[in-house]
């Protein structure tokens, strides 16, 4: 039983590391935060608090777009650039049209999701190659010739 659990956790870990997982998580959180205020109502004692604004339709559309992008980041990591840009545009649009972007929480989570999606690089080899600094060739000592100088002119 414990062996299966360990194997399942390692499988999940490998799956999670092969895609922009945290970008998807923050995208889902942003979609929930933007979707929530216009549709939910809260009972405080005998008083029902409901936010009824014109932003209801736009918040539903924007949260659906952000949630679809978040799921697409998990399913198709190759779409990280278009999904990241679309999530950023939808999050910034929600600031104006959907109750200040879910009272700021959805806006911040959406921008964080977009940033993580746009900055994610597939594979460890690609990430390592970006961090390595290429070696600079040292100049030849004075008085020596290089192979290019010795080759005959064409």
d(CA 15, CA 3): 18
Q: Where are the domains of the chain?
A: 15-120
pLDDT value at position 72? 92
Residue numbers of the chain with a pLDDT score lower than 50: 125-126, 129
- Tens of pLDDT, residue by residue over 31-62, are 998 887 777 777 777 777 666 666 677 888 88
Q: Which two three-digit tokens encode residue 46?
A: 């005998």
Contact 70, 34 (CB under 8 A): no
Q: Provide the pLDDT for residue 126.
A: 46
Q: Write the burial class of residue 74 (CB in 10 Å: 0-12 exposed, 13-18 middle, 19+ buried).
A: middle
């Amino acid at each position: 039983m414990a062996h299966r659990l360990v194997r399942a956790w390692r499988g999940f870990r490998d799956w999670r590391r092969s895609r922009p997982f945290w970008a998807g998580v923050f995208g889902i959180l942003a979609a929930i935060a933007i979707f929530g205020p216009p549709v939910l109502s809260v009972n405080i004692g005998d008083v029902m608090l409901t936010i009824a604004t014109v932003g209801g339709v736009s918040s539903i559309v924007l949260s659906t777009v952000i949630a679809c992008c978040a799921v697409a980041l998990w399913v198709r990591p190759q779409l990280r650039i278009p999904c990241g840009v679309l999530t950023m545009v939808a999050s910034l649009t929600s600031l104006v049209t959907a109750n200040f972007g879910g009272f700021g929480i959805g806006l911040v989570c959406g921008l964080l999701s977009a940033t993580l999606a746009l900055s994610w690089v597939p594979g460890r080899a690609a990430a390592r190659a970006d961090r390595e600094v290429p070696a600079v060739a040292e100049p030849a000592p004075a008085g020596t010739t290089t192979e290019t100088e010795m080759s005959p002119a064409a």
